[in-house]
Amino acid sequence: MKIIALSILSISLNSFAAQTADKPLSTLSTGDVKPNVMFIIDDSGSMAWSHMPDDVVNWPTPAGRVDWRNTVGYRSSLCNGVYYNPETNYLPPKNPNGTDRPNSSFNAAWYDGFSAGSTSTHDLSKEFFAYDRRTGYVSPGNWKPDVGTPGEQGATKVQAFYWALKSGIAFDKNNPGPQCSEYPRGSIDSNAAASTNSWTKVLIPDATQTAAVQAMQKTNFANWFSYYRTRILMMKSSAGAAFNSIGDRYRVGFSSINNLHSNNYTSQKFLKIDNYASTQKAAWYAMLYSTTPGGGTPLKTALNAVGRIYSGQESKAGDPMQYTCQQNFTILTTDGYWNAGNNAGIGKQDNASNIPYPMKDDTNKSETLADVAMYYFKRDIRPTMNNNVPGIDAFADGPKGRQLMRTYTLGLGMDGQLKRSEAQSSGRHPNHHRRSMACRSQWGRRLFQRKRSQCRGCRAI
Ligand SMILES: [Ca+2]
Ligand SMILES: [Ca+2]
């Protein structure tokens, strides 16, 4: 996740740099037009979970599916994308001024490394747990094993550990179910050494290593526990790192999907886009690091709200556009598909014959997230402003140089329909990859999994 976040922001910032470099140098000193960037965080309830994707647990319940909370699966990063990965160096998060937050302590690791004033800590030499009531998608009828007291979050507490594949055993990533469903004799959570057909349990610290290595292992595990153990912790740490190196050459704002959905533009819940100098940066980090998961996933209405803000149609949120040639970007983060807020009123926006693949929606579904993004991309969102935005070509019915919103998305744990791995593994023709991606890019059909003859419509691409 961290790598993805950093790389996507890097792409965005590189494009900013390329655009500003096109302008005459004489205008850069005082009249530089800064790009607007609105960051939207997914603050839905599932962001509190310590597993990814959702299928790691038995929800929703497919027939015959094993709940990996009771097996090795929840406790290995190969099966659970959020779990501790010994190959990852878990850096402490950034402060807005560029300094690092303190490392977490193995013997007193914060339950939530971002919770100001929290005294809730755990001695990971004996009080570690893979998940608890809050992080394991636990509802009253779904909780297992429920062996602790509510004050201890209901989890079995043991020495820190992870499961590693035995030497010579390969992980079948295309069919992870059998291996991730393995479990040892006795309890999955115990301090005893244990193994299964594929896996060996590795304790932290590893007593066979030198003292120096053990110290590094403990710090790395403690940092993961306090700063990366759940989806929201991981998002805070990675977004905080990605937005640390940019400064007041940009104008940056902060919002969350549920507050945008509710039109909650109070100063505690919404940060207007402004120069990303020290004051704005401090406010941005304070809001990011204090985000609390809860509620649904109204992605479409959230993105629509930011589109309306850029269009000058949300008076309570202010108007971030200062110049007719200003560029507008939105970075939307999410851990899943929308499940609320299906009333954006956008309709069908991405089926016209002059919209190319992969943006074109052959199924012509109405009011998808892509329709919302396309609505604010293809049209002139400020009809009263002259169309002089540099680098904006005519597109669909939109004129060259029009004001628009560009949308970037950061998805946690979603496969979607554009799986590069599947597209690459299924053919030999040198152009097969491009063709198959084009087939799959016809939203909603999953043509790639059907007969190739059904894909003839995009053979010519
Ligand atoms: Ca559509
Ligand atoms: Ca215009």
Q: Which helix (H) or strand (E) holds 11?
A: helix 2-21
Q: Among the listed ranges 77-81, 282-286, 357-361, 379-383, which one has the minimum average pLDDT value?
A: 357-361
Residues 176 and 279 in one domain: no
User: Quick check: 404 pLDDT over 90?
Assistant: yes
Residues 132 and 207 in one domain: yes
Please tell me the distance between residue 100's alpha carbon and the centre of ligand 2 in angstroms: 43
Task: Give the alpha-carbon dihedral of 12, 333, 176, 66, to 10 degrees.
Answer: 180
Residues 110 and 251 in one domain: no
Q: Categorize the per-residue pLDDT at 148 as very low, low, confident or very high, splitting at 50, 70 and 90.
A: very low
Please tell me the distance between residue 361's alpha carbon and the centre of ligand 1 in angstroms: 5
Residues 138 and 247 in one domain: no
pLDDT, tens digit (0-9, with 9 covering 90-100), for 86-102: 999 999 999 999 999 99
Please tell me the distance between residue 348's alpha carbon and the centre of ligand 1 in angstroms: 5
User: Quick check: 249 pLDDT over 60?
Assistant: yes
Residues 192 and 251 in one domain: no
Instruction: Give the distance, in angstroms, between the CA of residue 191 and the centroid of all CA atoms in the same chain.
Output: 33
Name the β-bridge partners of 94: 100
Q: Residue 370 is encoded by which pair of tokens?
A: 């892509």
Please tell me the distance between residue 417's alpha carbon and the centre of ligand 1 in angstroms: 15
Task: Give the CA diameter of the chain.
Answer: 73
Least Cα distance to 130 among 99, 108, 100, 159 occurs for 159
Residues 160 and 179 in one domain: yes
Residues 218 and 275 in one domain: no
Strand order in the sheet with 405-411: 271-275, 251-256, 36-41, 328-334, 405-411
Q: Residue 342 is encoded by which pair of tokens?
A: 């299906």
Q: Residue 282 is encoded by which pair of tokens?
A: 């401090």
Answer yes or no: are the C-beta atoms of 351 and 326 closer than 8 Å.
no
pLDDT, tens digit (0-9, with 9 covering 90-100), for 154-183: 567 899 999 999 999 999 988 999 999 999
Count up the domains in the chain and report the number. 3
- Residue 435: what pLDDT? 41
Q: Among the listed ranges 54-63, 250-259, 261-270, 357-366, which one has the minimum average pLDDT value?
A: 54-63
Q: What is the domain range of residue 443?
A: 420-458
Give mean pLDDT, residues 391-400.
94
Residues 246 and 323 in one domain: yes
Least Cα distance to 232 among 35, 49, 429, 449 occurs for 49
Q: pTM of the predicted model, to two decimals?
A: 0.83
Residues 186 and 314 in one domain: no
pLDDT, tens digit (0-9, with 9 covering 90-100), for 12-26: 333 433 344 444 433
CA dist 79 and 55 (Å) reads: 10
Residues 348 and 400 in one domain: yes
What percent of the chain is modeled with pLDDT above 70? 76
CATH (domain of 380): 3.40.50
pLDDT, tens digit (0-9, with 9 covering 90-100), for 186-206: 778 787 888 999 999 999 999
Please tell me the distance between residue 64's alpha carbon and the centre of ligand 1 in angstroms: 34
Residues 76 and 10 in one domain: no
Residues 391 and 445 in one domain: no
- Residue 415: what pLDDT? 57
Least Cα distance to 335 among 422, 424, 230, 438 occurs for 230
CA dist 92 and 113 (Å) reads: 9
- Residue 62: what pLDDT? 67
Please tell me the distance between residue 372's alpha carbon and the centre of ligand 1 in angstroms: 9
- Residue 138: what pLDDT? 64
Please tell me the distance between residue 420's alpha carbon and the centre of ligand 1 in angstroms: 22
User: Quick check: 301 pLDDT over 60?
Assistant: yes
Please tell me the distance between residue 433's alpha carbon and the centre of ligand 1 in angstroms: 24
Choosing from 163, 198, 229, the residue where a domain stops is: 229
CA quadruple 272, 275, 278, 281: dihedral sign: positive
- Residue 273: what pLDDT? 97
What counts of helices (H) and strands (E) characterise the chain?
10, 9
Choosing from 373, 388, 411, the residue where a domain stops is: 411
Which residue did the predictor score with more confidence, 457 or 124?
124
Average pLDDT, the chain: 81
- The answer for residues whose C-beta is within 8 angstroms of residue 363's C-beta and 6 or more apart is 442, 443, 444, 445
Please tell me the distance between residue 295's alpha carbon and the centre of ligand 2 in angstroms: 36
Instruction: Give the distance, in angstroms, between the CA of residue 122 and the centroid of all CA atoms in the same chain.
Output: 27
